[in-house]
Structure 1
Amino acid sequence: MASPAPAPHTLADFALAAEQALDAATWAYFNGGAGDEATLHANAAAWQALPLWPRVLQPLAGGHTRVALAGHELAHPILLAPVAHQRLAHPDGEWASALAAAAQGAGYVLGTQSNVPMEQVAEAVLADPGRGPLWFQLYWQADRGFNRALVQRAEAAGFEAIVLTVDAPVQGVRDRERRAGFALPPGVHAVHLQDAPAVPPADGTYCAGLPAHAPTWDDVAWLRAQTRLPVWLKGLLHPADARAAQALGVAGLIVSNHGGRTLDTAPATAQALPRVRAAAGDALPLVVDGGIRRGTDVLKAIALGANAVMVGRPVAHALAAGGALGVARMLRLLRDELEMAMALTGCRTLAEAGAHLLDPATAAVWEQAGPR
């Protein structure tokens, strides 16, 4: 009798288990990137390349991982990013990952391309007193009326913010996915887009006319006027875009390169984050994603100026490996690693995690200014 597979102890273990559980085409869909996948690999490598400079003999009694994000206190700074078509990984799909996030006090962002209706997800988690924030991610559609209806539906269901993805006016050149021949199987579809109006034709052949319907800064201003919910923008890397977003009064930014799935050779998010923070100043909340696989990565993100982080592919990996319990275990592992990294660097709280952890030359300046 074969012995059971060992329980995953790292996020990499979940990835290995998922690769064994999924067919090759689905694995290529979840794990592939754009082009030569330079940005995909650079994301993780950039976090790993940053050294942590620990301080010793620091007072650690009463330590915790709590953070403030957009006026709310979170048990820890980890959110689950919007990942499309989660029923490819597990029959329970987004319902399972949202339930796991709530059980672990993590924020959850439901994607437009969810396979489970937003109302079912909200009903499953809203009553949990220990849950994190519940947000809805919007992929801009060509019809403003349809966008308005989606946002109003999210409001009515109890979602607490709208996250507009702004870095995908067209799909990236995802060669690995195409080589594998990936296609959605019967029964797996984006339930929120079933009644979306057809994209009207556009003049010219530039990307088949799709960019003509991509959102602009005017659309961001319009969207803010359509909802009482705070609006976040996901997919900014350039400091100039951060300043433009701030001028429009958005609630926060998610520093992201779409997990390396859109523009290949875009900078790693660890490189972009401090530049966006410098451009936006201290007041605007920032979340970062892309290649975060260890608790040390989370700590480095906070030290570089993020208020919180998101993980994306690990959600699909953990779902495929163990459903809701797998996602809950993945989150707990990441939080445990964060706590240990904090203790080993002399950080009692995340407010003490500053640039001095990454560059000891800044320590004197940091100690004079106090924590961010």
Structure 2
Amino acid sequence: MELAAHVMPEAGISIRHIQALAEEAEARLPSAVARYFRQGSGASVSAAEAVAAWEGRRLLPHALTDVARIDTGTSLLGTPVRTPIAVAPSTFQRAADPDGERAMAAAVADVGGLLTVSSNAGTRFEAIAETGVAWWLQAYLPADRQAALPLLDRAVAAGVGAIVLTADTPVVARKDDGGAETIWEIAEDDWLQVNFEPGYGSRPGHAKARDLGPADVAWLRERTGLPVVVKGILRGDDAERCIAAGAAAIWVSNHGGRQLDGAAATADCLLDVAAAVGERAEVYVDGGIRSGRHVLTALAMGARAVFLGRPPLWALAAGGRDRVVCELNALGEELVEAMQLAGMRRPGADPSLLAAVRR
């Protein structure tokens, strides 16, 4: 896997490198956009703790293991991918780059990964599908479930592979802009929600559902004919309820620290959720993953894949499609090295790699 010239191989995707990437991106963005991409909710406690939670994990590498050949390939709900590093949904991608989700999709296709597309995307599903990327749709269900059908039907017609139901947003948590200009004040009309029917959002029934429940998982599966992933799960008992309702996968997430401030870090929740799920469904995780070691740790803890949110968005802002490819490839290289050093030849759960964490 060849790295582009502007990424130093010795630097990899270290935390300092990601911080430099964020700073480069933010220097190119309007302050309102940069703040929106970075901010968490409330006092940003959960957002601030995410990376440190992964950094606090320690590993017990296997020795005398043949790691001459490393295979990072896996499958996500039956879709083969070359890497367990996938891209999470994020809105306002066209505020980062004029080509927005299309550029992101093309980059993810180039590295053989998987993309989750926000329901609020500023690019038509058909244009995203034309890149050849494997993609899923993230969806919020409205109070009137029928109002979601045009969006779902459009995604199905465009070849979406799964529906990712966001379960942690009955209301949108407050963000503190300190009285400064917000992204909503400068947003252009075609930056978001271009896949909705005209007039969507204008009726009370279009508000986010506050009565979301397990029955919605079954309804989505039956209505679309697709596997349903439930995103925003931090508890084993909630994972159990989702699986009983027919969920094909559980996505451990605290919404990047943008919903309930003070919610636990995903690195501290993954083991319990994976134990509750067992072999009945796939498990994914996002939140604060910034290095190949973090990815390796998540895999060992039982995640089949990790999803990145802010880093690909910063890469898109810093240099468009090519920069996203570069950063994802560099993180993939770092994962290969971590797997070699830990004695893991292919992605898979390995609790024996996990050292006890001293608090």
Compute the TM-score of the two structures, normalised by the length of structure 1.
0.87
For the pair 1:291 / 2:293, whether they are aligned, the reply is no
Q: Deviations over 1:261-283 (max 9, x none)?
A: 01100000011111111111123
Q: Among residues 230, 252, 256, which one is paired with 1:255 in the alignment?
A: 252
- Indicate how the Cα distance of structure 1 residues 153 and 67 shifts in structure 2: closer, same or farther if over 3 A, else same: same
The structure-2 alpha-carbon separation of the partners of 1:201 and 1:289, relative to structure 1 and needing over 3 Å to count, comes to closer
> Is the 8 Å Cα contact of residues 167 and 234 (structure 1) preserved in structure 2?
yes
Contact 1:113 1:192 in 2 (8 A): yes
Larger Rg: 1
Q: How many angstroms apart in 2 are the aligned matches of 1:120 and 1:181?
A: 28
- Name the counterpart of 2:312: 315
Report the CA distance between 1:24 and its aligned residue. 1.4
Distance 1:62 1:284 in 2: 28
Match of 2:28 in 1: 21
Partner of 2:187: 185
Partner AA of 2:303 in structure 1? A
Distance in 2 (alpha carbons) for counterparts of 1:134 and 1:254: 15
- Is this contact kept in 2: 1:28–1:180, CA < 8 A? no
For the pair 1:80 / 2:76, whether they are aligned, the reply is no
Q: 3-state DSSP class of the match of 1:310?
A: strand
Query: Which residue does the alignment assign to 1:246?
Result: 243
Selected match of 1:282 from 279, 284, 288 = 279
Give 1:225's match in structure 2, choosing from 222, 225, 232: 222
Q: Is the 8 A contact 1:53 1:360 kept in 2?
A: no
Summarize the alignment of residues 80-119 of structure 1 with structure 2, pairs less than 5 Å apart: 80-119=87-126
CA distance in 2, matches of 1:75, 1:185: 35
Alignment partner of 1:339 out of 324, 336, 341: 336
Q: What does 1:142-181 align with in structure 2 at a 5 Å threshold?
A: 142-176=143-177, 179-181=180-182
Distance 1:33 1:110 in 2: 20
Q: Which amino acid aligns with 1:308?
A: A
Shift of the alpha carbon at 1:123? 1.5
Task: Indicate the SS of the match to 1:27.
Answer: helix
Deviation at 1:85, TM superposition (A): 1.2
Give 1:121's aligned residue: 128
RMSD: 2.2
d(CA) in 2 for partners of 1:177 and 1:326?
Answer: 31
Q: Which runs of 5+ in 1 are unaligned?
A: 126-130, 203-209, 362-372
SS of match in other structure, 1:137: strand
Residue 236 of structure 1 contacts residue 254 of structure 1 at CA under 8 Å; is this kept in 2? yes
Work out the number of aligned pairs and report it: 343
**Is the partner of 2:152 in helix, strand or coil?**
helix
The letter of the residue matching 1:94 is E
Contact in 1 for aligned 2:142/2:209 (Cα 8 Å): no
Q: Which residue of 33, 43, 46 maps to 2:40?
A: 33
**Matched AA of 2:97:** H
**Structure 2 unaligned residues grouped into runs of 5+:** none
C-alpha contact 1:12 1:293 (8 A) present in aligned 2: no
Indicate whether 1:302 and 2:309 are aligned.
no
Query: CA separation in 2, counterparts of 1:178 and 1:167?
Result: 26
- Verify the 8 A CA contact 1:140 1:214 in the aligned structure 2: no
Q: Report if the CA contact (8 A) 1:29-1:177 is conserved.
A: no
- Identical positions, percent: 40
Q: If the length of structure 2 is used for normalisation, what is the TM-score?
A: 0.90
Quick check: 1:35–1:174 contact (8 Å CA) kept in 2?
Answer: yes
* Aligned AA (2:148): N
C-alpha contact (below 8 Å) 1:33/1:176 kept by paired residues: no
**For residue 199 of structure 1, what is the aligned residue in structure 2?**
203
Contact 2:58/2:356 (CA < 8 Å) preserved in 1?
A: no
User: Residue by residue, what CA displacement relative to the aligned partner does 1:272-324 show, whole Å, maximum 9, x if unpaired?
Assistant: 11111111112310110001111111000001110001001112100010100
- Corresponding position of 1:355: 351
Conserved 8 A contact 1:112-1:138 = yes
C-alpha contact 2:50 2:267 (8 A) present in aligned 1: yes
- Report the residue type matching 1:357 in the other structure: L
Change (3 A) 1:55 1:236: same
Aligned-partner SS, 1:175: coil
In structure 1, how many angstroms separate the alpha carbons of the residues matched to 2:88 and 2:179? 24
Which AA in structure 1 matches 2:135? L
- For 1:100, the aligned partner's letter is A
Post-superposition shift, 1:194? 5.1
**CA–CA distance in structure 2, aligned partners of residues 212 and 338 of structure 1:** 39
